[in-house]
Amino acid sequence: MPSNSHLGHNPLASRQTDFVVSFEHAVLSARQSRNGGISARILHFGNGAPPVEVNCATAFQENAQVFRIADDYTSFIDDRRETYSVIFIVGSDPGRIRKFMRIYRPLLKSKAKIALLRDARPQVRAQILNVGFDDVFDVEMDPTEGQARIKAILGRMGQRQTDDLLRNVRQLHLQHYVISPLLGRESRILSLLAAAKGAPVRTERLTATGRSALRPISPKSLQVLISGLRAKLKPTISIMSHGSSGYALLDASPVAELLATAAVGAEH
């Protein structure tokens, strides 16, 4: 993993690096998809011939690469040369399958993770799902059903990745205003104030949740949040109270002054 030592201990710079890496991975995945490259990998245990479950996995995902799981190297999950979106772990030993996921789960966050067993009884299925798999198939599953379930998993993952990218874009924009990381509700409040471009934002709107998963808060709780938010703002940024009209964000930075001057010049 590349070192981030050149960023010091700045968590905002670290978040920017994470966003760039996520964006580059999304672009690479899209390019791989357009070029018709390998989209799935099937992993199995043992030193002999691939077990029968491997043949079943190929029915769910065409053009899949097959790898034997070994303890002395990890090339079977490395996607630096060829990206893939689905990984099957096949076998007859649920314990080994769970152990594999416990070890490699951090490296497979962006993959659809499917366990395929000969017999996926409810208790075994629950145990496997609990360690991080997205779904559990058995050898009796109809290929059409399996393909539909994989498509649904990839759709949910794609939506989550899009949401994360948009969230990171918003955080990068908010870095112009702050000197330290923001909490979730602080980010939403500052985003609303910044979008208003200096105009007051009513208290009712700042205390509501909008489309977020946050709960509504009281005006008094908003005052506490605003106080904490002010402590995180850069010296050239301030939040002014407008009484019943709400709060407004004032930006006295050189960049804001240049933009304001350019806007006035354009009007004339």
| Residue pLDDT, tens place only, 74-106 | 778 887 777 889 999 998 899 999 999 999 999
- Other C-beta atoms within 10 Å of 38: how many? 16
Distance CA(226)–CA(131), nearest Å, equals: 40
Asked if 186 and 169 touch (Cβ cutoff 8 Å), the reply is no
Question: Could you tell me which residue, 220 or 254, shows the higher pLDDT?
Answer: 220
Question: Could you tell me which residue, 5 or 234, shows the higher pLDDT?
Answer: 234
- The domain limits of the chain are 5-169, 179-267
**Token pair of 121 as six digits:** 């009884």
Start-to-end CA distance of the chain, whole Å, equals 53
| Residue pLDDT, tens place only, 148-207 | 999 999 989 888 877 676 666 666 678 888 898 888 888 888 888 888 888 899 888 888
CATH fold of 5-169 reads: Rossmann fold (3.40.50)
- Other C-beta atoms within 10 Å of 168: how many? 17
Amino acid identity, position 89: I
CATH number of 179-267: 1.10.10.10
Judging by DSSP bridges, how do beta strands 237-241 and 247-251 pair with one another?
Answer: antiparallel
pTM: 0.55
